[in-house]
Amino acid sequence: MTASKSGKLGLLFLSVLLVMFGIFVFTINVTLLYKGKNAIEVDEVELEEVNDFKELNDALETRKQTLPPKAVPVSSRKKAGEEIGQLYIPKLNIVLPVFHGTSERELVKGVGHVIGTALPGENNNTVLTGHRDTVFRKIGEVKKGDILKVENEQALYTYKVRKTRIVDADDTTVIVPKRTATLTVSTCYPFTYIGPAKQRYVLVADLISSKLKRT
């Protein structure tokens, strides 16, 4: 075989290799492109599913927070001066009558329920108040983690003290609405102060259980 023929065969062989390599590279690129496109589409679908689930979960959580506790019946509105239940403070071993309203007429008889705030057990802020030198003389002994119970003709509601506060007498944050069932108990502070006190001692408690009475 002459040198010229060998050169031509070598060139032909090289050309075939280059063509086959080109086809191989083209096939690989097309495959990767297809897989990459599918991967992006799958990722987008999965991301949409995650976002939808998160939105649904957030909506459910919001809905649960606005619903009344399971054991809380629909309550009727009360009249000023009407006894609406009893406040039991296990730490102090005392049971106090609770009246709707906070005028001296109610406070001289027991604990007053601030009109316009939620009734006990409702999914909002229930605010009770009383004199420091009568019903709440030892309220300062009640601390975080202690239990408060409110009983009425419908149910027994159990609350757990989440925190204590000392605020100015005109601090309206004590009566702001809450998203969950909360019991706020307030009295004048300091406890030994003579005359109109300029501060309030406040217990903030969360509803932990509700037990309906059988009718």
At 188 the three-state DSSP class reads strand
**Distance separating alpha carbons of residues 204 and 191, to the nearest angstrom:** 18
Of 201, 36, 75, give the one whose Cα is nearest residue 130. 201
Whether residue 27 lies in the annotated active site: no
Q: Distance of CA 177 to CAs 38, 64, 133, 172, 193, Å?
A: 50, 16, 28, 11, 30
Sign of CA dihedral 101, 102, 106, 111: positive
Whether residue 131 lies in the annotated active site: yes
Q: Distance of CA 20 to CAs 25, 27, 32, 140, 210, Å?
A: 9, 11, 18, 90, 79
**Distance separating alpha carbons of residues 20 and 27, to the nearest angstrom:** 11
Catalytic residue (one of 89, 188, 204, 207): 188
Catalytic residue (one of 91, 109, 131, 160): 131
List residues with catalytic annotation.
Answer: 131, 188
